[in-house]
Amino acid sequence: QRRVKGIAISRPVVYGNVATPLGDEKASQADHTHRWTVSLRGANNEDISYYVRKVVFKLHETYHQPSRAVDRPPYEVTETGWGEFEIAIKVYFHSFCAEKPITFFHHLRLHPTEALAAGTLANPTELPKPGLINQPVLAYHYDEIVFNEPVEALARVLLEN
Ligand code: SLL
């Protein structure tokens, strides 16, 4: 397949996690403290399945079947747990794209940053506001998938969408 020389086409994505303390909810295991969801999506919430074939989220080995493949949107995994760890997010493209998979790395975050946990930046020794303690923690990153010299079929669908 011919590649379109001298061009690169990029598509914006957002990946990361949200986490909430379990509180009184029953976890699947007694030592679990949080429920979290790790995800990959289009940066403007657009559908990315026209070029993404599947996304494999590689969790910590303490999880049952740590390699979680998701072959349609939403590309996300929800779990409960007690610890933070690095998640590899491997993105596979449709075969017509003729592109190798790419991997993003995300450090799963369960706990608020120190500034939030210990009060405010202006007043760091202040105790946390009780309301903030049980807020969801968000940790998302913006990035771009860059297709360098894409094959014609991929260039066409990228420019059409
Ligand atoms: C830590 N290095 O020590 C990290 C490991 C592992 C987290 C965190 C669930 C385990 C299960 C879980 O939260 N694993 O369901 O068995 O902080």
Confidence check: pLDDT of 1 > 90: no
Distance CA 48, CA 53 (A): 9
In a domain, 13, yes or no: yes
pLDDT at 24: 72
Task: Report the CATH number at residue 123.
Answer: 2.60.40.1970
- Whether 1 is in a domain gets the answer no
> How many A from CA of 59 to the centre of ligand 1?
9
Query: Residues 40-89: pLDDT tens digits?
Result: 999 999 999 999 999 999 999 999 999 999 999 999 999 999 999 999 99
Ligand 1 centroid to Cα of residue 81, in Å, is 6
Q: Torsion angle, CA of 131/132/133/138, rounded to 10 degrees?
A: 140
| pLDDT, tens digit, 9 for 90 and up, residues 15-40 | 999 999 997 776 667 899 999 999 99
In a domain, 2, yes or no: no
Q: Is residue 92 part of a domain?
A: yes
pTM here is 0.89
Q: How many domains does the chain have?
A: 1
Q: Is residue 3 part of a domain?
A: no
| CA 28 to ligand 1: nearest atom | 15
Q: What is the extent of the structural domain holding 73?
A: 8-160
Q: Is residue 66 part of a domain?
A: yes
Q: Which residues line ligand 1 (CB under 6 A)?
A: 29, 60, 62-63, 81-85
